[in-house]
Chains A and B, each alone.
Chain A
Amino acid sequence: MDILAMLLPIAFSLTMISVFMGLCSYSVLAERKVSSWIQGRVGPNRTRIPLVGHIPILGNLLTGLGIFQPAADGLKFLFKEEIIPGHVKVGYYYLAPIIALAPALTTMVVLPFGRYVDPAGVVQPLVLANIDVGILFILGVSSLGVYGIVLAGWSSNSKYPFLGAIRSSAQMISYELAMGLAILPVFMWSSAPGSEYGLSLFGVVQSQQSLWLIIWQPLSALIFLVAVFAETNRLPFDMAESETDLVGGFHTEYGCFKFGLFFVAEYAHVIMGSALFVCLFLGGWNFLPGIADPWSDNVFGTVLSVLWFMSKVFFMIFFFIWVRWTLPRFRYDQVMSLGWKILLPLAIGNLVFNTLIIAAYDHFTRN
């Protein structure tokens, strides 16, 4: 019994990591397919694996959709020659991609992705660790990802990665402030006096049963969304890569699977960012604003809630891709001034405004 209790979480974690990594590789495929759709191209449509790829109609369909492409991409990274440039600091050079990926994978521990009803009739979240400071954990751990980029830039001992790393660290630190301040009002409401929901992500999702927070807190949602874009280092904020002027930015000196890890880490951050946004502002697994959840109390309802959550996440991933292939890139100083001069004051103003409203609400309901 004890052994089972120990093994079960490990098995769950392994399952979740593999599902998550699968999602990452298929978001790469989604990126390629959606971008080609936006740009009037075809995208990957030739990769075929033996047997499955040769089933008459299905095989061709899967090949055309590029379903096998992620496997080819991954294998390519694995089988490439391992090149270590002579001028790098080898230890840190190897450490950097690991540090870049690990936080993104760690944050998913506290991410609730569905709900079930336990025998006692209480709604419980589907989550690896339902800690009551989930959002704090995510903010703390995900910001460690910047160390991977900084380390990559430093250890490469080369000028372009160095510039990329500097830009990236400055950018991430600035946007973390705005991000943290943007979600404070959300948690102030969810743990406001008279509310039964706490600081955990599950609580936030439960508090959105009737009204999604994006409607209730549009400004927070907007600031958070922009900050997530900046945190994931994607266009229009991809200062760290900025391939036209910094060649490849922080990963210029990286090849083979080490580059692959950076690549996966970016998509892991995108998925985490999307999932977080869905949890905080798009109602998580709650059906639609104003409509009671149709999910039944049995296993079937649980599966439906997970699927509904995932479809929202997929929409957000699509949104990320959509923006990337539509907008040009900011300049470094513009990114900083947007962060410090616009988003931060807005976030603070929003926070003060919400505090006043909560205080007033509390004052009047108490009398």
Chain B
Amino acid sequence: MATTKEITIGDVNARASELETELQGETMALNVGPSHPTTHGVLRLMMELDGDVVKKCEPVLGYLHRGDEKIAENMTYNQFVPYTDRLDYLAPLANNVAYAMAVEKLAALEVPERCQSIRVLCCELARISSHLLGVGVYGMDAGAWTVFMFTFTEREKLYTLFEELTGARFTTSYTRIGGVARDIPEGWLGRVLEFCKGVLPVLDQVDKLLTRNRIFMDRTVGVGAISKEDAIAYGITGPNLRACGVDLDLRKDKPYLGYEKYDFDVPIGTNGDCYDRYLMRAEEIRQSVRIVRQCIDQFPEGAYYAEDAKKIFAPNKAKVLTSMEELIQNFMIVTEGPQVPAGEVYFEAENPKGALGFFVVSKGGGVPYRLKIRGPSFCNLSILDKLIPGHYLTDITVILGSLDFVMGECDR
């Protein structure tokens, strides 16, 4: 005869919650940085680990603080150009341009078309160089060293071009208020086109190595996803913002330097995860190449500086030695700096890392009264303490790599 017997196993949830404290164990404090291979500079992360999962992450900044903004108050506008090189030192040309544009906006100065085209070339080549390194280092963070070497080789070719243009490979200091330091060298445009021809096959190779690579996708898809709302709330800009699906590119939305003339697409992501951020950068290189080609196709003739800005742009050296008026003009600009009227202005440009903004307050004369820099890397990193918890320790590398920040700009 069969009998059924009921047994109780008690309240499962209550027992589980009782055990929970026992199972939890201790967390481990782990300090990453400021000197650590994953931090790309001197970012420091104070983390609390539960096994291999990060529970809490507190970014510590300021190890590279130089007081750039205060320094700016003690020198003429042109003297500050080299300091802008050291903001985002992976795209110094773009910083130079953004700074010069900000001051010119304050002085209500229009630079001639040729100067604009030169600056567009500078910006886009700087973007290509920065993104090449961004994608390469990102690959390296995920363990794919070869990608890094491929892109680094291309970047090296670009640096040779920069050297030809500005005289320096790394810290270019190319722009002056009202123009650029010198005209483009002969035959340089052809060499830029040659570079453009060479960089696309390398991008295809990177594509083959990473884009549909199962391991790379496993590492990046869904990792470090930022929602649209968060991205806007934290003030993220640049490719990181566009990866979240927000269509904001200052080159399209607030065109400067005649960007409206060029035909290019702005890639927009869907998930805002690490994988999308990689795709953004890879695509932006291609789009930049498009802009460079169009720019060179219709490269205007004319002066490479604003000729009518007698109090802002120092005249040609040959003229200084032969004509009295130019000699005085040169003397005034060198001793007192470019004369910018009183007022305040905010200008931001779409830099490789995001929107780099300069807020300049002038009380007249050749020295800014106050200069505030909005570094995109700083804002992009502000989401770290929300983004990182819950991820594996190994993911931190990929997330940091995908955010593509530069501490020089973050700490200023």
Are B393 and A40 neighbours in the complex by a CB distance under 8 Å?
no
B108 sits at the interface (CB 8 A): no
Shortest distance between the CB of B111 and any CB in chain A (Å): 39
- CB contacts under 8 Å to A, within B378-405, are 392-397
Provided the pairs A326-B146, A333-B52, A334-B218 are in contact, do residues A247 and B36 lie with their beta carbons within 8 angstroms? yes
Please tell me which one of the listed residues B28, B146, B210, B397 contacts residue A159 in the complex, with CB atoms under 8 A apart. B28
Q: Which residue of A lies closest to B36 (CB)?
A: A247
B145 sits at the interface (CB 8 A): yes
Please tell me which one of the listed residues A39, A247, A331 contacts residue B145 in the complex, with CB atoms under 8 A apart. A39
Are B143 and A236 neighbours in the complex by a CB distance under 8 Å?
yes
Please tell me which one of the listed residues A39, A238, A247 contacts residue B146 in the complex, with CB atoms under 8 A apart. A39
Are A328 and B392 neighbours in the complex by a CB distance under 8 Å?
no
Please tell me which one of the listed residues A39, A242, A245, A329 contacts residue B150 in the complex, with CB atoms under 8 A apart. A39
Shortest distance between the CB of A154 and any CB in chain B (Å): 15
Are B394 and A245 neighbours in the complex by a CB distance under 8 Å?
yes
Provided the pairs A39-B145, A163-B52, A236-B215 are in contact, do residues A331 and B395 lie with their beta carbons within 8 angstroms? yes
Cα–Cα distance between A329 and B30 once the two chains are bound (Å):
22
Please tell me which one of the listed residues A38, A245, A326, A331 contacts residue B218 in the complex, with CB atoms under 8 A apart. A331
Please tell me which one of the listed residues B37, B153, B215 contacts residue A327 in the complex, with CB atoms under 8 A apart. B215
Are A245 and B213 neighbours in the complex by a CB distance under 8 Å?
no
Are B52 and A330 neighbours in the complex by a CB distance under 8 Å?
no
Are B143 and A244 neighbours in the complex by a CB distance under 8 Å?
yes
Q: Which residue of B lies closest to A246 (CB)?
A: B393
Q: Which residue of A lies closest to B395 (CB)?
A: A331
Are B143 and A329 neighbours in the complex by a CB distance under 8 Å?
yes
Which chain B positions have C-beta within 8 A of A334? 215, 218-219
Please tell me which one of the listed residues A41, A245, A327 contacts residue B144 in the complex, with CB atoms under 8 A apart. A327
Cα–Cα distance between A207 and B103 once the two chains are bound (Å):
81
- CB contacts under 8 Å to A, within B189-236, are 209-210, 213, 215-216, 218-219
Interface centre among B141, B143, B213, B396 (most CB of A within 10 A): B143
Provided the pairs A244-B397, A326-B209 are in contact, do residues A331 and B219 lie with their beta carbons within 8 angstroms? yes
Please tell me which one of the listed residues B28, B150, B153, B210 contacts residue A328 in the complex, with CB atoms under 8 A apart. B210
Are B394 and A40 neighbours in the complex by a CB distance under 8 Å?
no
Provided the pairs A159-B28, A236-B215, A244-B140 are in contact, do residues A332 and B394 lie with their beta carbons within 8 angstroms? yes
Are A328 and B149 neighbours in the complex by a CB distance under 8 Å?
no
Q: Which secondary structure dominates chain A's binding surface?
A: loop
- CB contacts under 8 Å to B, within A218-243, are 235-236, 238, 242-243
Q: Which secondary structure dominates chain B's binding surface?
A: helix
A259 sits at the interface (CB 8 A): no
Are A244 and B141 neighbours in the complex by a CB distance under 8 Å?
yes
B139 sits at the interface (CB 8 A): yes
Cα–Cα distance between A235 and B52 once the two chains are bound (Å):
19
- CB contacts under 8 Å to B, within A122-159, are 159
- CB contacts under 8 Å to B, within A234-276, are 235-236, 238, 242-247
B362 sits at the interface (CB 8 A): no
| Tier of interface size on chain B | 20 to 34
A325 sits at the interface (CB 8 A): yes
Cα–Cα distance between A348 and B192 once the two chains are bound (Å):
58
Which chain A positions have C-beta within 8 A of B213? 327-328
Shortest distance between the CB of A256 and any CB in chain B (Å): 21
- CB contacts under 8 Å to B, within A2-52, are 35, 38-41
- CB contacts under 8 Å to B, within A323-358, are 325-334
Cα–Cα distance between A238 and B394 once the two chains are bound (Å):
12
Are A40 and B150 neighbours in the complex by a CB distance under 8 Å?
yes
Q: Which residue of A lies closest to B141 (CB)?
A: A244
Cα–Cα distance between A242 and B142 once the two chains are bound (Å):
9
Cα–Cα distance between A332 and B397 once the two chains are bound (Å):
13
Shortest distance between the CB of B224 and any CB in chain A (Å): 12
Which chain A positions have C-beta within 8 A of B394? 242, 245, 329, 331-332
Are A328 and B144 neighbours in the complex by a CB distance under 8 Å?
yes
Which chain B positions have C-beta within 8 A of A167? 52
Which chain B positions have C-beta within 8 A of A159? 28, 30
Cα–Cα distance between A247 and B215 once the two chains are bound (Å):
21
Are A247 and B37 neighbours in the complex by a CB distance under 8 Å?
yes
The total of chain A residues at the interface (CB under 8 A) is: 27
Which chain A positions have C-beta within 8 A of B78? none
Which chain B positions have C-beta within 8 A of A331? 218-219, 392, 394-395
Which chain A positions have C-beta within 8 A of B288? none
Shortest distance between the CB of B282 and any CB in chain A (Å): 15
Provided the pairs A326-B146, A329-B143, A331-B218 are in contact, do residues A245 and B397 lie with their beta carbons within 8 angstroms? yes
Which chain A positions have C-beta within 8 A of B144? 326-329
- CB contacts under 8 Å to A, within B141-169, are 141-146, 149-150, 153
Provided the pairs A159-B28, A244-B38, A247-B36 are in contact, do residues A329 and B146 lie with their beta carbons within 8 angstroms? no
Please tell me which one of the listed residues B28, B143, B146, B216 contacts residue A38 in the complex, with CB atoms under 8 A apart. B146
Cα–Cα distance between A222 and B145 once the two chains are bound (Å):
25
A156-198 vs B, Cβ < 8 Å mask (1 yes, 0 no): 0001000100010000000000000000000000000000000
Shortest distance between the CB of B221 and any CB in chain A (Å): 12
Q: Which residue of A lies closest to B218 (CB)?
A: A334
Are B149 and A41 neighbours in the complex by a CB distance under 8 Å?
yes
Are B392 and A40 neighbours in the complex by a CB distance under 8 Å?
no
Are B139 and A328 neighbours in the complex by a CB distance under 8 Å?
yes
Which chain A positions have C-beta within 8 A of B28? 159
Shortest distance between the CB of A332 and any CB in chain B (Å): 6
Please tell me which one of the listed residues B37, B145, B218, B393 contacts residue A330 in the complex, with CB atoms under 8 A apart. B218
Cα–Cα distance between A332 and B218 once the two chains are bound (Å):
11
Cα–Cα distance between A247 and B30 once the two chains are bound (Å):
13
Cα–Cα distance between A334 and B221 once the two chains are bound (Å):
13
Please tell me which one of the listed residues A35, A245, A330 contacts residue B396 in the complex, with CB atoms under 8 A apart. A245
Shortest distance between the CB of B319 and any CB in chain A (Å): 47
Cα–Cα distance between A148 and B396 once the two chains are bound (Å):
27
Q: Which residue of B lies closest to A41 (CB)?
A: B149
Given contact pairs A326-B144, A327-B213, a sample of 7 additional A-B residue pairs in the complex whose CB atoms are under 8 Å apart = A244-B38, A245-B37, A245-B397, A325-B146, A329-B219, A332-B392, A334-B219
Residues of B within 8 A of A (CB): 28, 30, 36-38, 52, 139-146, 149-150, 153, 209-210, 213, 215-216, 218-219, 392-397
Q: Which 3 A-B pairs have the closest CB atoms?
A: A329-B143, A39-B149, A328-B142
Sample 11 A-B pairs with CB under 8 A, ordered by A number: A35-B146, A39-B149, A39-B150, A244-B143, A328-B144, A328-B213, A329-B144, A329-B394, A331-B219, A331-B394, A333-B392
Residues of A within 8 A of B (CB): 35, 38-41, 159, 163, 167, 235-236, 238, 242-247, 325-334
